[in-house]
Amino acid sequence: MSMSRADARTLDAADPLRSCRDRFFLPEGVIYLDGNSLGALPLATVGRSREVVESEWGEELIRSWNSRGWIDLPQRLGAKIAPLIGAKPHEVIVADSTSVNLFKLIVAAAALSPERTVLLSEAGNFHTDLHIASGAAALARLRLDVVPRDEIEARLGPETNLALLTHVHFKGGYRFDMVAVTALAKAAGARVLWDLSHSAGAVPLDLNGSGAELAVGCGYKYLNGGPGAPAFLYVAEHLQERLISPLRGWMGHAAPFAFTDDYVPAPGIARFLAGTPPILGLAALEAGVEAFAGVPIEQLWAKSIKLFDLFAQLVAERCPDLLCISPPEPERRGSHISFSHPHAFEICQALIADGVIGDFRAPDVVRFGLTPLYLGFEDVWEAVERIRDILESGRWRDPTFAVRGKVT
């Protein structure tokens, strides 16, 4: 039996996370299904950013490095992200971008087992991961082996130095079994570097329990840190003293303010800092992470599953031209739902014009992020109604929807 708008409202009324949406600024008339690409603005970010700019920077000036704790913010914020990913507080630090953190960890990890010469990754992995991997491999004298997803496990072997894998795929949402792949890699004597960009803040993660040793993740997606927010980096405790970042900046030095000529890595995770921490961006990310306060990730995930199932069911009933490419089983996917259609681009543009913001991923995928902190069941119901209307009316054929911008 199909679900009505009233049924969706009933689900919203019974949703224990319903009040969390009040933590966010959600523009009138917009159904935001792109929080997996750029998280919505937490209301607290506005006040926090203002305070950092006006009071901490404006009034307190340089004294804030000590008096307002700027200097430790990368570690403090890492410790706040740690429970979301199943890590210890001192195993996570916030620095640089995901791309840069990938570079640091690939090169650092490569040096641990120089006799192993292959960097393994997935064809169709997020492109920055593969681009960074190619550059890091060249510098670390590794051969980059990019293979189809279903061949990764079989390729883990005596030559594998490191496998660079994105836990939840940015396009289809397929998820690797972190426990199984980590164990396979370990049995082969190899390591895995997990990119958690589409997992952190959405999918339950237990890095420690999974035996994961290395990971990076994005600050501006589910963590709501704002455009270009700094990223995080995780190194398991037992590896920290053995890894040296190839970006030997002063902030990762054991004594940054001793101004010595020689590089001595800081103890622990701090050695993965390079330059001066971007305080404005870190403060915004801190407010983004605090938007999760009091919400167990398992509860978020339980709601994500329901949002996904509703979305998939309504599309199957009302929009038969859209083919769902995301796995139906929750344990095999992340928190977005993707569909293929030969005119995905135009459909996506027509939807945005209608206030339903999802995104297009080349060549033929339209993707919708399901962010349980601020998305409700009626939002999903209404979004699918508008998709149905656009498909049935053929409005997406309007030539203005075929015009491509720089960012799609």
Ligand X SMILES: *Cc1c(COP(=O)(O)O)cnc(C)c1O
Find residue 323's DSSP bridge partners: 340
Is 221 among the residues known to form the active site? yes
Residue 125 neighbours by CB under 8 Å, 6+ apart = 146, 164, 165, 166, 169, 195
Asked if residue 34 binds ligand X (CB under 6 A), the reply is no
Helix H or strand E encompassing 324: strand 323-324
- Amino acid in position 23: R
Identified binder of ligand X from the candidate list 195, 213, 286, 346, rule CB under 6 A: 195
Asked if residue 197 binds ligand X (CB under 6 A), the reply is yes
Which C-beta is closer to ligand X: that of 110 or that of 218?
218
Residues 229-248 that bind ligand X (CB under 6 A): 231
Give the chain's largest Cα–Cα span: 72
Identified binder of ligand X from the candidate list 166, 199, 224, 326, rule CB under 6 A: 166
Nearest to 335 by CA among 85, 223, 168, 86: 168
Is 220 among the residues known to form the active site? yes
Asked if residue 75 binds ligand X (CB under 6 A), the reply is no
Catalytic residue among 232, 360, 367, 374: 367
Asked if residue 99 binds ligand X (CB under 6 A), the reply is yes
Annotate each residue in 108-147 with x if it binds ligand X (CB under 6 A) or - if it does not, as one string. ------------------x-xx------------------
How many residues interact with ligand X (rule CB under 6 A)? Answer: 13
The region of 195-203, 270-278, 279-287, 358-366 touching ligand X under the rule CB under 6 A is 195-203
Beta carbons of 164 and 108 less than 8 angstroms apart: no
Side-chain half-sphere exposure of 173, counting CA atoms within 13 A:
30
The nearest distance, CB 96 to ligand X, in angstroms, is 8
Give CA–CA dist 342/366, Å, rounded. 10
Is 367 among the residues known to form the active site? yes
In 167-226 the beta strands, taken as DSSP E runs, fall at 191-195, 214-217
Cis peptide before 363 (omega within 30 of 0): yes
Catalytic residue among 116, 191, 221, 303: 221
Which residues are the active-site residues?
Answer: 126, 195, 220-221, 367
Q: Which residues bind ligand X (CB under 6 A)?
A: 97-99, 126, 128-129, 166, 170, 195, 197-198, 218, 231
